[in-house]
Homo-oligomer: A and B are copies of this chain.
Amino acid sequence: MVDFDLRSANARLRASNPLIQCITNTVVQQFSANVLLAIGASPAMLDHEADSAQFTRISSGLLVNFGTATNQQFLAADAAIDAANDDSTPWVLDPVSIGAVDHRTTRIRRAADSSPTAIRGNASEIAALAGIGLGGRGVDSTDEVDAVIPGAVELARTTGAIVAVSGARDAIVAHIDGVDRVARIDGGHEFMPLVIGTGCSLGAVTAAYLDGATTTSARFEAVVAAHAHFKVAGQAAAAGAQGPGSYSVNFLDALHALTGEQLATARVEAGTVEGSQS
């Protein structure tokens, strides 16, 4: 049984105010920046190949998301990933739109083979990356979280990454000391997938929580804390929301207001993946 100290994870984040470099799609850049600011991190969206790696050297974490990648962004990501790995800076891969189109799928698979600290996507995307599904259409999840856990386990084993599957219920998978561990997190609200960027920005938040987590266990906890932060705030944001517009506003307020004590109330269920011990 794993016990997560979400309160300490949050305290560490707030104390370090990590600078997170986001090479991410233009649709969600504003929202992702506001989300990072709300949780106590600093965003920077530098994505030019001439200086992206130099910026990674002074960053505490990196997010790579090819949702609207240009040729320059692909080059910038290659350089930034190398710099992150060189410096042991945590970096998160969001495989958004994998499976739908070949060119992007090839680039995402190459990134997945470059030692990401964590991979975060919805069920369709994780399934496509694991080769157990056909991928979804854009950013909406069409498969179920539980159905992709075997694929997530396989990804965690082969890439060494913590693998997070986001959905109505999140599942975070880690391969630690030969054991496949999983944490399931409930919360959020039905309006959440109607706000663009609630998935993509979670990748940035995951990178922020990973700052300072050096063991696989600590990283597992950090990724769980990031997802729990969204689940608890996402539930609180429903109070008074009249639709996805006001929900989005409330969500930023709730992300910011959330205390370590409240984070510790997240509905997290941890265990090992049945039948997966090798």
* A58: interface (CB < 8 Å): yes
* A67: interface (CB < 8 Å): yes
How far apart are the CA atoms of A108 and B220 in the complex, in Å?
41
Give the segment of A26-34, A157-165, A176-184 that binds chain B.
Answer: A26-34
- How many copies of this chain does one complex carry? 3
Is there contact, CB below 8 Å, between A27 and B29? yes
Query: Could you tell me the distance in whole angstroms from the C-beta of A153 to the nearest C-beta in chain B?
Result: 29
Interface size class for chain A?
Answer: 35 or more
Is there contact, CB below 8 Å, between B44 and A138? yes
Q: Which residues of B contact A58 (CB under 8 A)?
A: 100, 137
A interface, CB within 8 angstroms of B: 19, 25-31, 33-34, 37-38, 42-48, 50-51, 54-55, 58, 67-72, 97, 100-104, 137-140, 193-197, 242-246, 248-257
* 12 intermolecular pairs with C-beta atoms under 8 Å apart: A19-B138, A26-B29, A37-B196, A38-B243, A42-B139, A46-B97, A58-B100, A70-B70, A71-B72, A245-B249, A245-B252, A245-B253
